[in-house]
Amino acid sequence: MTHYSRRRVLKMAGLVTIATTAGQLLPLPRLNAARPDAPLPGLDDFIQVSRLLTQQATLNTTVAHALMLALSQTQKGFISGLAQLKTVLQSQPALLQQETLTFAAADAECEKLAKAILGGWYTGVVGKGNHALYVTYVNTLASELMSDKLVPPSFSYGQMGSWATQP
C-alpha cells in the first residue's frame, strides 16, 4: 500500500463525540464539545485563522483539532507561523477580500502556511507524498459544499432512482 504516514494525531486527541451534518437535513454541523486528553494550546487561534481563511462561520472542532495536530507535524515552526499569519490577516483584512490569496513577498511563508491550512480543510489531507497525513474523508469542506446535491462516494444516496429526481 502506498505508505501515507500513520495518522497518529487523533489518538492523542482521544475519542470524541462529534455531530456531523446529519444527512442533508441540518443546515450546520452541531458541535459537541471536544474533550481531548490535554487542552490544545493555540486551538482557538487556529480556529480563528481558519475561519478567516475559509470564510466559514462555524467549523468542525474535532477536525480543527486533528488538523492542527497534523499541521504541527508537517509544517516547520507551525505555532510561530500561525501567530504570524494571524497578525498578517488581522492587520491586512483587504487580503481576504480578494479572490486569490496573494500576500506581499515578505510574507511568503505566511502564504504557504495559509495554503496548507486551506488545503487541509478542503481536502482532508495535510502534507505531501509519503509524509502526507490524512485527517478526514467525509468532513472535508469539499464534501460539505456539495452536500445538498452529492453524497461522498461510498455512501448511499437513497432509494434506487432517487438521484434521477434531483433538479
Partner 1 sequence: MADASQSPVVIVGTGVVGVVIAEQLLDAGIPVLMLEAGPRVTRADIVENYRNLPLAAKGNPIECYPSREWAPHPEPAGAGKGYLQLSGPDSYAQSYVRYAGGSTWHWAGTCWRLTPADMQLHSRYGVGRDWAFDYATLEPYYTRAEYQLGICGPDDPALQWPPQRSKPYPMPALPFGPGEARFTEVVRDKLGLRNIPTAQARNSGTSYDDRPACCGNNNCVPVCPVGAKYDGATALSRLEAKGATILDNAVVWRIETNPQNHINAVHYFDKHRQSHRVSGKLFIIACNGLETPKLLLMSADARNPNGIANRSDQVGRNMMDHPQITMTVTLEEPYWAGVGPVVNSGIMETSQGDFRAEHAGAYFRFNNFARNRFVTFAALEKGLVGNALDEEIRRMTACTADIVLAHEILPDASNRLTLSDKKDWLGLPKPAIHYDVGEYVRRSLAVYSMPIAHRIAEAMGATHKTFSKQFNQSKHIMGGTIMGHDPANSVVDADCRAHDHPNLFLPGGGAMASTACGNSTLTMVALAFKAADAIVRQAQEA
Partner 2 sequence: MRKLKQIALSLALVSGAAQAADDALIKKGEYLATASDCTACHTAEHGQPFAGGNAIASPVGTIIATNITPSASAGIGRYTEQQFSAALRQGVRADGARLYPAMPYTAYATFTDEDVHALYAYFMSGVKPVDKAPPQTHLPFPLNLRMSMMVWNALFLNAPGYTPNPAQSAGWNRGRYLVDGATHCSTCHTPRGFLMQEKQDAAFTGAQVGPWFAPNITANRVSGIGEWSQQDLITYLKTGRLAGKAQAAGSMAEAVTHSFQHLSEADRAAIAEYMGSVEDRQSPASGTSRFGQGSAFSQVNAFRGEPRSSSAGEEGARLFSGNCASCHGSSGQGTQDAFYPSLFHNSATAENNPSNLIAAILFGVQRHTEEGDVYMPPFGAQPNALNHLDDQQIATLSGWILQHYGNAEVNVSPAQVAEIRRGGPASPLVMLAQAGVGAGALVVIALLIAWLIRRKRRR
The 3-class secondary structure across 102-139, one letter per residue, is CCCHHHHHHHHHHHHHHHHHHHCEECCHHHCEECCCCC
Out of 50, 62, 75, 140, name the contact with partner 2 by CB under 8 A.
Answer: 62
Q: Say how many residues touch partner 2, by CB under 8 A.
A: 37
- Binding partner of residue 140 among partner 2, partner 1, none, CB under 5 to 8 Å per kind? partner 1
- The residue within the footprint of partner 2, chosen from 25, 94, 105, 106 (CB under 8 A), is 25
Terminal-residue alpha carbon distance, the chain: 40
Half-sphere exposure of 41 (CA within 13 A, CB side): 4
Site string for partner 2, 100-139 (x = CB under 8 A): ---------------------------------xxxxxx-
What are the phi and psi torsion angles at 100 (to 5°)? -110, 155
Q: Which residues contact 107 (CB under 8 A, 6 or more apart)?
A: 84, 88
DSSP helix/strand/coil, 82: helix
Task: Choose from partner 2, partner 1, none: what does 10 bind? Cβ within 5-8 Å by kind.
Answer: partner 2
110 C-beta neighbours (distance < 10 Å), count? 21
CB of 35 to partner 1, least distance (A): 25
Three-state DSSP at 143 gives helix
Binding segment (CB under 8 A) for partner 1, from list 10-18, 31-39, 68-76, 111-119: 111-119
Closer CB to partner 2, residue 10 or residue 89? 10
Binding site for partner 1 (CB under 8 A): 1-4, 53-55, 96, 98-102, 114-115, 118-119, 122-125, 132, 134, 137, 140-143, 145-146, 149-164, 166-167
